[in-house]
């Protein structure tokens, strides 16, 4: 019983700003994984393509197939392809990220069985995040095996571990240094390969290290992990719902499962028709998190239920079916998330499909 209002003109504003601080606006990869960070992968992707984006990136093959089946025909990069889905990946002309020798060998085997040639892929390096990726020492192996295989390297990239942290910390400087060495080694092999290192925060924090491409994710949706950078962006979504009932609670009475909250005085509580099945997690309990009722803060109280949570409206003039803003322009998702001890990414990407997305252009 909630709705996510999504303003596509704000998406366009954010895209244009990111392009304005990018060395090559045609080298911008738009990240639409995780249902476009909860905003709706189909509508967001189609809008981005209409605005001139030529390459989208997703997490899985299934996300890429969904886009293809719905008429999205631009380049689609798959960050974490499942080797057991390579057959579908090739059939739908998706671009895999290859991050290990085993994944490389499986992909080559599949291409040879299909008699494919010059299939484009991306190579991922681990320069210090210690997640997925080849190591620097693997470069000679990659080049040797690429030369005798039916593939073409489109790009080589890595991911900073702390792009939003204070600039030039030692770990980030070390990662950049390693990536520079990787670039030089590959450039000697093929001067046409593209390079990219920066995510959203990196675009703002390390403009001198943009290389050929950049990857814009959360910044497209209005957040940058820094309040100064945020001033240039517009959150594109607001989560709206309504009060469905109000109760008068006596001092000492409890509210919700497991007596999660007890009234310290005569109180009024409002019932909100969203819960952990919608992405409003149980971790919000006792975190001093508020929503807005008639532009006034109303704290979340008690344990979050599957379909419902409760707020304290004792000091707010409100009635049943008044509108409630979970997050929006006056209560941004990053502020809402920080008060809960998490990040905007988690709040946004957790929003379930039970919440209706409404798009405004």
* Residue 179 near residue 125 (C-beta atoms within 8 A): yes
Catalytic site residue from 7, 19, 33, 119: 33
Residues contacting residue 280 through CB under 8 Å, at least 6 positions apart: 274, 304, 309, 326
* Residue 48 near residue 11 (C-beta atoms within 8 A): yes
Q: Tell me how far apart the alpha carbons of residues 294 and 95 are, in angstroms, rounded to a whole number.
A: 48
Q: Looking at the chain, how many residues does it have?
A: 361
The question of whether 33 is a catalytic residue gets the answer yes
Catalytic site residue from 257, 296, 319, 329: 257
Residue 307, phi then psi, degrees to nearest 5: -120, 0
**What's 149-203 look like in SS3?**
CCEEEEEEECCCCCCCCCCCCHHHHHHHHHHHHHHHHHHHHCCCCEEECCCHHHH
The question of whether 221 is a catalytic residue gets the answer no
Largest distance between two CA atoms of the chain: 77
Q: Looking at the annotation, which residues are catalytic?
A: 33, 257
């Amino acid at each position: 019983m909630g709705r996510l209002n999504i303003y596509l003109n704000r998406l366009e504003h954010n895209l244009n700003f990111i392009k304005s601080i990018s060395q090559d606006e045609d080298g911008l990869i738009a990240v639409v994984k995780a249902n476009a960070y909860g905003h709706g992968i189909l509508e967001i992707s189609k809008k981005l393509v209409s605005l001139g984006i030529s390459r989208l990136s997703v997490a899985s093959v299934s996300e890429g197939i969904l886009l293809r089946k719905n008429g999205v025909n631009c380049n689609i990069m798959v960050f974490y392809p499942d080797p057991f889905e390579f057959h579908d990946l090739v059939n739908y002309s998706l671009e895999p990220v290859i991050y290990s020798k085993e994944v490389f060998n499986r992909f080559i085997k599949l291409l040879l069985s299909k008699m494919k040639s010059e299939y484009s892929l991306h190579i991922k390096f681990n320069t210090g995040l210690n997640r997925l990726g080849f190591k620097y020492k693997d470069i000679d192996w990659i080049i040797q095996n690429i030369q005798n295989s039916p593939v073409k390297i489109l790009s080589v990239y890595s991911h900073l571990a702390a792009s939003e942290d204070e600039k030039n910390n030692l770990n980030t400087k070390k990662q950049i240094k390693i990536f520079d060495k990787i670039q030089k080694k590959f450039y000697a092999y093929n001067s046409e390969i593209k390079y990219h290192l920066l995510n959203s925060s990196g675009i703002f924090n390390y403009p001198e290290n943009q290389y050929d491409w950049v990857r814009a994710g959360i910044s497209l949706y209005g957040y940058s992990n820094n309040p100064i950078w945020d001033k240039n962006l517009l959150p594109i979504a607001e989560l709206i719902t309504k009060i469905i009932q109000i109760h008068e609670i006596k001092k000492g009475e409890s509210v919700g499962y497991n007596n999660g909250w007890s009234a310290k005085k005569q109180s009024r509580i409002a019932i909100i028709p969203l819960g952990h099945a919608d992405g409003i997690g149980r971790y919000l309990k006792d975190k001093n998190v508020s929503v807005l009722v008639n532009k006034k803060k109303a704290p979340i109280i008690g344990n979050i239920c599957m379909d419902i949570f409760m707020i304290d409206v004792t000091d707010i003039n409100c009635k049943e079916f008044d509108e409630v803003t979970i997050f929006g322009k006056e209560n941004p998702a990053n502020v809402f998330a920080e008060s809960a001890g998490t990040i905007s990414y988690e709040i946004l990407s957790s929003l379930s499909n039970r919440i209706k997305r409404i798009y405004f252009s």
